[in-house]
Structure 1
């Protein structure tokens, strides 16, 4: 293993020091990668989260909703962090508000 270390030290000593142009290009690449990640990943996720919060805040009694588990039902009661959803006649489940994924158009459940 000693022969690998001495070779690496010899190569480092022979190499030319990185100039200002090399440092600037690496900084530019890091900034460009951050911009790509921001516009492709972070910003769309923040937009979806904002839309989800707005939808949850606008829930009303009688709304037809879909849940994360795929159940469809009508909201019968709303509290600060929980929602009671009637999924069948006389079958009511209590869910967290975050479990609501979509508000369906009126009459969707009658046609299904």
Structure 2
């Protein structure tokens, strides 16, 4: 399968791996950094992919993993991240969870 034909769920699973690795070392990533990891031309296509992860975390009552992806200028997640209650607290919860101890979501669960 070539890179262009990947589904959003497959891309979300790739991003999941990127985000849990960053969380394990208490890093935040910019949208541009995530786009570069995926070899995307720009970060504008990430919203539906990150949305799948955001919704999964909310359904599974997990800290909002996507809150560690931020705009490079503002240093904050985009406005579409609706599951954040308190950014600092939520980010600490993301950093403190042992994501590697959890089974990653299936492609179906990221739908």
TM bucket normalised to smaller: under 0.3
Larger Rg: 1
Q: Compute the TM-score of the two structures, normalised by the length of structure 2.
A: 0.25
Higher relative contact order (CA 8 A, sep 6+): 2
Report the structure, 1 or 2, having the larger strand content. 1
